Amino acid sequence: MTRFHALTAALLGWSALTAPALAQDDPIVLKIATLGPEEDEDFAGSQVFKNHVESASNGALSVEIYPNGRFCSNADECSEALLDGRLDIFMTTNGGLAGWYPPAQFLDLPYLFPNDRVAECVFDGPLKAQLRDAVLTDVGAVRLMAMSNTGGWRNIATTDKQVKTPADVAGLKLRTIAADVQVQLVEALGGSPTPIAWPEVYTSLGTGVVEGTKNGITDIVGMGFEDHLKYIILDGHAYMGALWWINEGTFQALDDAQKRIVYDGFQELKWTARQLPKLKSVEAFDTFRAAGGEVYSPTPEEKAAFQDAAQPVWTWYEEQFGRDWIDAATQAVATCETELDAEYEDAAR
């Protein structure tokens, strides 16, 4: 045997012996699916998550992002893939979570959250852990890792008249999603709830099938609804929460150091996904006004009137699911308001 053949044989033998070890060094791949485009907050947050996780793990963890519905085409398909482990990470809206854990509709109870700071404080507090544990117990398969925002706040926007009080909603045909809490709210305000698929809303507004909708400003402008919608009241009846989930089997397969890296990555994702809708809303409101739209901020008295008019929705929820989540959420809000008031008082001394 020549020296070349001997060296080749030795190298082949070494490769065969070490092949399993090299395979063990392959990175663990985490797959994230989002339904929105690369321009939205979910994709931006996912990029921050990817950068943190891959850097902090020194390449032991790899993140693949599938935006624009490339992995799964709708929320139901993505949720199914997340639950059965084909997908590792996915974000649901409050309504999307209610599809597999119906009591989660408490997150959309009208006027639960007074502002961004309180909502973010609640989402970072004990309520998140309560919701995580409840879903792990009742649904299994997925773990709640972070709560962010997807589009700001739902407000009432109309085509032909400015809404300022609940009485102004009476008789209006308002587009809503096919979610119980959203339908109940329009009915409580005296309007006519009209569930319409998202791709059909533009035409429905233009033809008078509906006279308004309940959406965030970035969604309104993103779909060109300002062509038909001319009035918005900033009633802020729902904070558009985004709940980020990881498949439980995926998470438990990580070692302790990797779990911490992934958890920290979700906190970076959360911060990014919360801030981007706020930034985008500035330009969106400018676009809406430039198209001839008017934006109205209700007085404290008018806001209180909306809260009073919406009470039947809270009663409906209690009849369906009991008071446990209502009490947990309202207590969390009260605690955060107290903490934020104390923070302000200290800062203003």
Mean pLDDT of the chain: 92
Q: Beta strand 61-66 with 28-33: parallel, antiparallel or unpaired?
A: parallel
pTM as predicted = 0.89
The tally of domains found in the chain comes to 1
Please report whether residue 265 resides in a domain. Answer: yes
For residue 170, CA distances in Å to 223, 225, 297 come to: 26, 22, 19
Please report whether residue 7 resides in a domain. Answer: no
Position 207 scores a pLDDT of 97
Please report whether residue 8 resides in a domain. Answer: no
How crowded is the C-beta side of 167, counted as CA atoms within 13 Å? Answer: 1
Position 294 scores a pLDDT of 98
Residues 128-161 have pLDDT tens digits of 999 999 999 999 999 999 999 999 999 999 999 9
Please report whether residue 6 resides in a domain. Answer: no
Please report whether residue 169 resides in a domain. Answer: yes
Residues 84-128 have pLDDT tens digits of 999 999 999 998 899 899 999 999 999 999 999 999 999 999 999
Rounded Cα distance, 99 and 245, in Å:
14
Residues 43-59 have pLDDT tens digits of 999 999 999 999 999 99
CATH number, domain containing residue 271? 3.40.190.170
Rounded Cα distance, 313 and 311, in Å:
5
Please report whether residue 16 resides in a domain. Answer: no
The angle subtended at Cα 34 by Cα 130 and Cα 248, nearest 5°, is 40
Please report whether residue 189 resides in a domain. Answer: yes
For residue 217, CA distances in Å to 104, 107, 270, 291 come to: 24, 20, 20, 13
Residue at 87: amino acid letter: L
Please report whether residue 5 resides in a domain. Answer: no
Picking from 21-25, 202-206, 220-224, which range would have the lowest pLDDT averaged per residue?
21-25
Task: Evaluate whether 244 touches 91 at the Cβ level (below 8 Å).
Answer: yes
Higher pLDDT, 3 or 207: 207
pLDDT band at 262 (very low <50, low <70, confident <90, very high): very high
Q: Beta strand 212-215 with 142-158: parallel, antiparallel or unpaired?
A: antiparallel
Host domain of residue 219 = 28-342
